[in-house]
């Protein structure tokens, strides 16, 4: 069916998650003339920062250029990692950092997981939070060996509950022979991304935090010891500014834009499957990802009826119909038994990769930022937003390991990722070669 009509009559080129919460501007909150802190970007990072400010009595305003939740925060796959992806570049390889730093990075990533779990419980956010673990399939035997090497540090630093599953036992995890075994990370979860976003938004509203939709930040200029933040709906004078624009970072902050490579990721959702088929695909209902350079990530929908399947069908934003065909092919490569299954939703969103494959918070030209989810930011961007607020409110006990002056750029990169289609083609070829030579 790869080239036949894979589309369900009810197909829509929008996120499956938006059936439960669709980004909306609502009644537009007026842009205040003054605020102690102005937060640019109303995704998980921006809302988590606003919530933390409110806990410490700091008045903050969130300025969002579109509807509330229009960025990656209602579009993602909903797999929450406890640190396994920290330091992974968009080639899927891990950055080389020394053992002591790796330990601290994993340990803070583990704190991010604890934070999101606590936040969901404290704010009673109904978002299908399920701690069922993740299976990361090894594309080659060498990848399996590499996973095995990382196991110890994941368990020591991030209490990941990681264990290896050899190929002979793979079918305990997934009804597929696509991989050479893989690693299970027990301390991972899944959620409904748009309902998590909605819950954060409601928590902000309960605290009367000003959340201004359709308020595009156009210019930020120094104003005495603070900032003048000009938006499409008025100007705010703020003491501090937090940039939380991640994969949508634009020309307003050119120095940050040069450090971020926005990479599109694409997802499809299938029509509801017969219960016996749905129940057999991923018997333990874990999230799945793999070690390929052009990786895929997938899971069952929270109600267990559909497959939600994501990957880099293209590295740039692309036609949802084209992406649906590519992803359907990737899905049936893994699950040939789904060949006749149709697609109901296909959508795309931007992630933000950094040149050292690490998320960052810090200050650039006096502006605070939290950026660079590297494809895995549900817990991490919630955490970095919170940590940035704690730093500005001067209540942080210790500096966060992701906070530092070293946020690398490249002299030839100005923020226009024109090279991504070439990189995508190169990685696809490398994936094929890795398997041929395995
Ligand atoms: C398809 C896809 C699948 C993913 N899957 C997973 C997953 O399974 N697990 C996981 O952990 N992570 C995943 N991610 C990553 C995760 O979604 C992000 O890391 C996270 O949502 C980032 O949150 P954020 O608040 O930093 O950014 P966003 O939610 O992207 O919000 C940034 C906001 O800034 C706004 N903005 C930009 N410029 C301006 C301006 N000038 N003025 C005002 N507002 C502005 C944008 O409109 C946007 O709403 C995925 C991402 C995508 C796209």
CA 375 to ligand 1 centroid distance, Å: 9
Measured from the CA of 247, which atom of ligand 1 is nearest?
A: 30
Q: What is the pLDDT of residues 81-131, one digit of tens each?
A: 876 566 555 555 566 667 788 888 888 888 999 999 999 999 999 999 999
CB 316 within 8 Å of CB 417: yes
Ligand 1 contact via 217 beta carbon (within 6 Å): yes
Measured from the CA of 48, which atom of ligand 1 is nearest?
A: 25
Measured from the CA of 373, which atom of ligand 1 is nearest?
A: 19
CA 372 to ligand 1 centroid distance, Å: 10
CA-CA distance, 320 to 345, in Å (whole number)?
A: 9
The protein residue whose alpha carbon is closest to atom 13 in ligand 1 is 376
CA-CA distance, 329 to 325, in Å (whole number)?
A: 6
Close Cβ partners of 300 (under 8 Å, ≥ 6 residues apart): 278, 281, 282, 285, 306, 307, 308
State pTM to two decimals. 0.95
Ligand 1 contact via 381 beta carbon (within 6 Å): yes
Q: Pick from 77, 51, 85, 53: which is nearest to 380 by CA? A: 85
Per-residue pLDDT of the chain (438 residues), as tens digits, is 444 589 999 999 999 999 999 999 988 999 999 999 999 999 999 999 999 999 999 999 999 999 999 999 999 999 998 765 665 555 555 666 677 888 888 888 889 999 999 999 999 999 999 999 999 999 999 999 999 998 888 888 778 899 999 999 999 999 999 999 999 999 999 999 999 999 999 999 999 999 999 999 999 999 999 999 999 999 999 999 999 999 999 999 999 999 999 999 999 999 999 999 999 999 999 999 999 998 999 999 999 999 999 998 777 778 999 999 999 999 999 999 999 999 999 999 999 999 888 999 999 999 999 999 888 999 999 999 999 999 999 998 888 899 988 898 888 898 888 888 888 888 899 999 998 888
Ligand 1 contact via 116 beta carbon (within 6 Å): no
CA 3 to ligand 1 centroid distance, Å: 32
CA-CA distance, 100 to 134, in Å (whole number)?
A: 25
Q: Pick from 206, 102, 212, 120: which is nearest to 157 by CA? A: 102
């Amino acid at each position: 069916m790869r080239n036949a009509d894979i589309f369900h009559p009810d197909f829509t080129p929008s996120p499956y998650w938006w059936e439960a919460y669709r980004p909306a501007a609502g009644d537009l909150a007026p842009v205040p003339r003054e605020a102690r802190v102005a937060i640019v970007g109303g995704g998980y990072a921006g809302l988590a920062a606003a919530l933390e400010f409110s806990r410490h009595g700091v008045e903050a305003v969130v300025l969002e250029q579109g509807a509330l939740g229009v960025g990656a925060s209602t579009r993602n796959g909903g797999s929450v990692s406890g640190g396994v992806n920290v330091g992974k570049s968009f080639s899927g390889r891990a950055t080389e950092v020394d053992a002591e730093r790796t330990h601290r990075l994993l340990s803070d990533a583990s704190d991010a997981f604890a934070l999101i779990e606590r936040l969901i419980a404290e704010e009673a956010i109904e978002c299908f939070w399920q701690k069922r673990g993740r299976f990361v399939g090894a594309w080659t035997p060498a990848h399996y060996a590499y996973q095995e090497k990382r196991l110890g540090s994941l368990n020591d630093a991030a209490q990941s509950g990681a264990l290896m599953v050899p190929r002979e036992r793979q079918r305990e995890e997934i009804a597929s022979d696509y991989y050479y075994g893989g690693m299970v990370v027990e301390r991972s979860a899944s959620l409904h991304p748009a309902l998590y976003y909605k819950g954060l938004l409601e928590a902000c509203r309960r605290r009367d935090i000003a959340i201004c939709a359709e308020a595009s930040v156009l210019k930020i200029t120094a104003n005495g010891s603070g900032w003048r933040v000009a938006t499409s709906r008025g100007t705010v004078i703020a003491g501090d500014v937090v940039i939380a624009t991640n994969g949508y970072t634009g020309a307003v902050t050119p120095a940050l834009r040069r450090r971020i490579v926005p990479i599109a990721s694409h997802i499809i959702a299938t029509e509801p499957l017969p219960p016996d088929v749905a129940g057999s695909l991923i018997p333990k209902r874990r999230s799945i990802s793999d070690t390929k350079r052009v990786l895929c990530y997938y899971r069952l929908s929270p109600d267990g009826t559909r497959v939600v399947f994501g990957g880099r069908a293209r590295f740039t934003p692309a036609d949802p119909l084209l992406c649906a065909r590519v992803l359907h092919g990737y899905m049936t490569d893994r699950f040939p038994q789904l060949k006749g299954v149709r697609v109901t939703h296909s959508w795309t969103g931007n992630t933000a990769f950094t040149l050292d494959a690490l998320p960052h918070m810090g200050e650039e030209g006096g502006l605070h930022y939290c950026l660079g989810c590297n494809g895995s930011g549900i817990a991490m961007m919630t955490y970095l937003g919170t940590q940035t607020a704690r730093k500005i409110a001067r209540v942080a006990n210790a500096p966060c390991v992701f906070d530092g002056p070293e946020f690398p750029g490249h002299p030839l990169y100005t923020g226009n990722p024109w090279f991504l289609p070439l990189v995508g083609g190169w990685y696809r070829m490398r994936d094929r070669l890795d398997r041929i030579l395995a």
